[in-house]
Structure formats: C-alpha cells, structure tokens
Chain A
Amino acid sequence: MPAITKRLNFLFRSTKGLVLVAIALIALVTALFGTLSGPLAEWGVKDIVVRGLGLRLVEAEREGRIIMLYHAIALAVVAIETYLITALVPMKQSEQTRINGTITVGYITALVFGLLFAYFGRNWICHGLFLFGQSLIFFAGVQLAVALWPWKREYRRQDAAYARTRRGLDLERTAFFTMAVAMLGSALFGAAAGAYFGNGFESFLAENVVREPHKTALQLAVIGHLHIMLTLIGVALTLIVGRWFDFQGRLHKLAMPLMIAGTIIVTLGVWAVVPVEEIAHYIIYAGSVPAALAAFLLVIYGWRKLIRERLAEQGLKKASLRQNLAALLHDPLKFGALWQMVYMNFVVTFVGIFMAIRLEKIVRTWPWREERVELTGHWHVLAALIATIILLYYADLIGLQGKARQWFGWLVIVGSNLAFAAAALFGTKRLYVSESAQQPLVNWATTLIDLGLATVLVVLASLLLWRLVDLFQRKGLWAKEWAEADLAAGEEVRR
C-alpha cells in the first residue's frame, strides 16, 4: 500500500507527475477518439471501436460530441499550463497546492464525464459533472490570478536584468497575470453562450456558420471564445517557454510590455466581435502584432543563447557559420520549441493572412466546404503545434538525455512539420489544382499528414510507455522526481 501511495503522491502532488498524468490522458483520448475519423475510420477501425466500447453515435449529435471532445482535450492542456505556471512563477506553496488540486479534480471530472455524456448516451448527471468540472477549473483560474497578483510587495523584481517598472513591478509576472485574467473573462464569454447551446439547444461548429449573413450574438460569442482561448493558451505557453529559457535582458524588457499590451488588445478585440463585429478584426490585428513580436523576440533571445552556450561548452570563441548552425541545432528540444513558434507562421499565420486578404477574390469563390477544410485545418495545426511545444518542454523537464533526447526531439519536429506542411497544402489545394485533378495531391498530402502525425504519436507513446514501466520500478525516475518535489515543497515561497 505505501508503494501505491508514494506513486499516487508523485502523480498527483508533483508538477512532473501532474503533467505526466495530463499528457497521458490527452494521449489516451487522442488515440481512442482518433479512430473515429480519418484513415482509421476508412480502414474500418472505427466500427470495431464503436462496437467494442458500445459508443452511441447519434448522427444529429455529432457536432455536440466534437465540441465536448475539443473541450476535454483543451481543459487538460490548460491544466498542464497551470501546473507549469505554478511551478515557474514565484508563489506560496499553499497557493500552488490549492490551485493544482482544484484544477486536477476539475479537468479530470470534466474530461471523464464530458466524454461519457458525449459518446456513451446522454446521461444528464454526466453533463452536470462536466459542468461542475469546468466550474472547478474556472475557480482554479481565479485562484491562479490571485496568486499571480503582481503588485504584491514580495514579488517586486529586484534584478535589473528582467523587465520591470521603476517601482519594481515584475512585468513578466504581470504578463502571466494579464493572460490569466483574460482567460477567465474569455471562459465566461464562452460559458454564456455555452449555457444556451450546451443545454440541449442547437449546438453548432463555428466553421459551419462562417458564411451565414446573420449570426446571433451567442453564435458570435462561440466563435470569439474558441479563437481567444486558443490564442491565450499560445500566449501562456510563450511565457512558459520564456521562463524555461530564463528570458532576460534587453529583449525581455521589450517583449514583456508588448506581450501585455498584445494580450489585452487581442482579448478586447475578440470580445468586441459580439457588439461591433465590423471593427473587431482591426482591433485583433492591432493586438496580434505586439504579441507575435514578443514571441519573435523570445525566439531571437533563445536561439542566441543556445548558440552561445554550446559554443562555450565546445570552447569556441570564434565560430564559422556551420559551427553556429550546429550549435543551434545541437539540442532539438530547446531548438524545437522555438522553431515550432517560427514554423507556426508558415503553416498558420501566413495562410490565415492570405485567406483574410484574398477572402472575397479567391476563398469565397470556392464552395463553403472547401473554405471549411482550410478553417478547420488552420486551427487544428495551431493546436497541434502548441501540443508539440509542450511535449518538447516536458521531455526536457524530465531530463531526457543523449540519443533518446535527439531521437525524441527530431522525430517530433520532423514528423509534425511534415504533417502540418502537408495539411496547409491540403487546406489550400484549390489554389493549385482543380477538383477533378486533385486526387494525386490529396493522396500525397493525406499520406504525409498521416505519416507525420503517426511519427509524433509513436514517439509520444514510447515516452509514455517508458514512464509507465518506470512507475513499476522501486527506484525509478519517478522516485527521484518525487524526492525533488518533496524538497521543493519545504520552501514557503519558491523563486
């Protein structure tokens, strides 16, 4: 019994354990529900899973099911980010424990009962528990915002290397705080609409109403909610990666005010979609630029640091271009996390900008189903890129070393990049081929997407399998990680 207690303590009371549990749950959900569409459905795996598990897939409820599946995954991602924030940003131990405890119960309740409601018959008790779980997550978010309050005396930034005001206000902490408050507001923004649509009324997918000339306020709120939540998850992750790299110096001082301003403006812009849709997009563009610029500054800082540290390790004072490049690529986990942010621009941002600029001239001359393929591809790629950055960070967090680090890092980068490039090509295929000539492109693109994603999933499965086996060992990595967490818990305020 003590052996099980120790392991449960590791899994549910340490940051590394909590992140591992959340990643494992997301992986399980992805593996299971991924069989219901795409190639696995085509190969007949879907039928086996549906029969084997007794899933109840009512055709009219498909959109509602998908919405709950998206929420189940997204809530677990929010939980992971929360664990990382409470571990990285100084706060009281008791605050960290309360926040992590609340969100863990919240997201697991919402995930389990949300999926039971969606896929195993509409049991309204499950739906109630899904809402209860989400409420707990919201409450954890409120606690997080309180803990992050940047104007507390004890959190004044003394070190001049980091962004701060003259009075010592820590601007990075303020950026985290701004993100947390914006996310709470945006969650409410979605919850208001969800309270109508989710309670058995007419659930819909945002991409399905994109061409409707008249959208209701609640429909606009749903569209806004999904966009801003994904954006804020991205903002949070950028800030987390900044902590991972110990982002500081001149670029940090530039980046943090930009990130704060960008977060506020983008959030207000998205909320403005409901009352003033016509001008909301301009506000969103205005906010996206500083936020993206802040991320760009982090990339510059991070890559320079990677090169500098590697060259120092090698004892090279002057290096050739090739040596600089080799130093940059030396650690695929750290390089990859920042590279994915850059790559995001090619397969998400630039495609999105093109679509916006050429909406009337090109995109809206396609039938709506073609536009929908691009829209769904666009945000699936963005969400998946965010997931890969989390995976790369987690692999570093658990101290993956040597060849395992290289293989894991490069396979995640190459696999995902291949898949997302092909997805971007697939989504915009009508630009290059006519409908009747598209079969070869579709064959290639779908093959590359499947191959790339399969690579990432196999690598992830290997990592999780290793961690699972490790849990059965008395002195496994888990025991070391738990001992470290136990030590850290002794400090009242962690820095």
Chain B
Amino acid sequence: MKRAVIMLACLALLAGCGPQAAPTTPPKMETGISPETWALVPAGEFLLGQHDHPTMLDYNYEIMVTPVTNSQYARYLNAALAAGKVKMANNQVVGYYAGDKFQGRRHEKKITAGDWLHVPLASQDLRLAFDGQTFTVKPGYENHPMTMVTWFGAQAYCEFYGGRLPSEAEWEKAARGSDGRPFPWGHEIARNNANFYSSRDPFEKNVGTLGNTTPVGFYNGKTYDGYQTLNSPSPYGLYDMAGNVWQWTADIYEGIHYRYLRGGSKTNYGYDLRVWTRNSAEPTYASPSVGFRCVRPVSK
C-alpha cells in the first residue's frame, strides 16, 4: 500500500511538471492580415443565438477585420493623452465616463459619472510600456491583440476614432453571417482553426495549455515554422472571431452593471468559442484574455 501511495505521488509530481508561464518574448510571426482593414456587414436578417432566432439588423456597418492590436492601442494612447482624452492617475490610464442608469436591482452595482480605469499600468500582463511620456509595445507583441484593457478603455478607443464597440447582435452577425453556423468558419472546430485551450499552437509551447495570445489573423491558412493553420475567417472575412481573446461588446442591460464579452479565448475549451457563447464581467475588469474590436458607420 505504501509503495502504491509513493508511486502515485511520484506520478503526480511528474505530471505537474508542465510548461509554466514566464514572461518571455514570443516568436515574431507576420500573418499578412492588416489590423487596419475593415469589413462591410450588409443590412439584413441573420440567426441570433444558440436557438437561431431570426433577427433583423436593418443597416450596414463596418467592423474591424481583427481585434485591436497592441501597436494600435499604444498609438491611440499617445494621441489620446496628448489630446487630453485620457489621463494618468495612480499608475493607471483613466478616462471620463458619463455613468449608467442605476435601477437598484439585486446584485447591481452603481456605475456613476466620473473617471474610470482604462488600462492598469502596474500589471505584469500588460504588453505596453510607459516611460512617463510615451507608450510603446513590448517586443514581439506588436501584432498581438491588445489585452488588459477594461470596457471603458475599449469603448474610449473606438470613440476616439469615430466608432464604437459592437452590440452583441452586431458582433454575432459579423461572426456567423446568415446561415446559422456555430463557428465563424463553419460547423466544426479543429485545433488549428483557432487559439483555444490546449489547441497546441506554437505559443502554447512556452507557456502551457492555457496558452498565449496569437498575432491577430494568425489562423489564415499560412504555415508558421511548420505549424499549419486552417484559413478560418468569418463569412465577412473577419479573423479571430473565435478564440484568442474575448471581445467586449457595447450593450448595457437594464438592472445589471455587467458588460458582455463574445468569442471565447485562449484559455477556453472549444465549445466556448461557439459564436453565441457569452461571458460577462464588470466594466473595470482587465485580463490577459480580453480584447476588443470596433464598428463604425459605413464610410462614404
């Protein structure tokens, strides 16, 4: 019996010795997908949610082809800081928000008018550096999605450039088109469709099964150092609409202060990457698995 217990303990010890998270510079990989591009989503009906409710969005809109990258967000912060749209306070980037209507419901918290957290600079997980004057991106993360950004920080970015965060319906329509598919690329998920838990992408090798972010547009059919990806855009040509990072959406619902996230992330199982899957968090929540993209009216 004793021998068996010792053997079990040894097995556990060995099994626990997987790769561990460490701040490393990721391999530089160019995807060829420009984060500056936008896709048109035409007006029309689509199937919303797990149970395919026919829903009409009667207007055209444009949505970013990829999530906002660290480079884009650093550039924005420098511009917004100079323009006085955001400010520094207690090692945080903060900005003004006009507040939510408070209903006083059970579990509801007040989101009042005032300055709210956009980006926590003290976090080790932030891929940006700030020298007191200028924001730069930590090497290797330039084309990775911007993370450690709160809902306020995401919304402020979009508004700065004349856009806004997508509503949940806009996000889902952009992800699945009109044929009711569960994943942006179709009906089934394979490991090399997206960055999710234990998907064995090259970035998992260094940090373990929970993974690291992959550069935006990574799953486009290219081969990276022998790792073959499947081309996995949505029907409107969007990348990373499943996996990599959760994406903030705009909707504010009556009686609750949470904001909703879509898309699943590098830390979730494949089923959490289904287009109708929701997550929610307080608007001040920032995480290495949360990013965003913007929508805007159709440019003339």
Question: Which residues of A are interface residues toward B (Cβ below 8 A)?
Answer: 37, 42, 59-60, 62-63, 201-202, 211, 213-214, 278, 359-360, 364-369, 406-407, 410, 414, 434-440, 442-444, 447-448, 450-451, 455
Contact = CB atoms under 8 A, between A and B. Distances in A.
A42 B209 CA distance: 10
B282 A439 contact: no
B21 A436 contact: yes
A365 B107 CA distance: 11
B261 A367 contact: yes
Contacts of A455: 8
A363 B115 CA distance: 24
A62 B189 CA distance: 14
Interface stretch (B54-62, B75-83, B271-279): B271-279
A447 B280 contact: no
Interface residues of B, number: 54
Contacts of B289: 435
Contacts of A37: 269
Contacts, number: 109
11 contacts: A59-B271, A202-B51, A211-B258, A367-B285, A368-B279, A369-B268, A410-B1, A436-B124, A443-B17, A447-B12, A451-B12
Contact of A435 (B182, B261, B267, B271): B267
B255 A214 contact: yes
A439 B1 contact: no
Contacts of B182: 59-60
B99 interface: no
A426 to B, nearest CB: 12
A62 B269 CA distance: 13
B107 A440 contact: no
B105 A60 contact: no
A365 B285 CA distance: 8
Contacts of A435: 125, 267, 287-289
Given A211-B256, A213-B105, A213-B255, A442 B209 contact: yes
Interface in B42-65: 50-52
A201 B253 CA distance: 24
A440 B20 contact: yes
Contact of A213 (B109, B256, B271, B288): B256
Contacts of B124: 436
B195 to A, nearest CB: 15
Interface string B99-122: 000000111110000000000000
Given A42-B198, A442-B209, A59 B12 contact: no
Contact of A439 (B51, B208, B290): B208
B36 interface: no
Interface string B2-16: 000100100110011
Nearest to A437: B21
Given A59-B274, A60-B52, A367-B287, A439 B210 contact: yes
A451 B209 contact: no
A420 B272 CA distance: 24
A444 B16 contact: yes
B247 to A, nearest CB: 13
B21 A439 contact: yes
B251 interface: no
Nearest to B198: A42
Given A211-B256, A407-B1, A443-B20, 6 more contacts: A59-B187, A63-B50, A360-B107, A365-B285, A437-B21, A443-B16
B18 interface: yes
B155 to A, nearest CB: 17
A439 B209 contact: yes
B19 interface: yes
Nearest to A42: B198
Contacts of B208: 439, 442-443
Contact of A451 (B15, B256, B261, B287): B15
A63 B276 CA distance: 13
Interface string B258-300: 1001000001110110100011111001011110000000000
Contacts of A278: 106
B254 interface: yes
B101 to A, nearest CB: 13
B115 to A, nearest CB: 19
A439 B19 CA distance: 8
Interface string B151-191: 00000000000000000000000000000001100011000
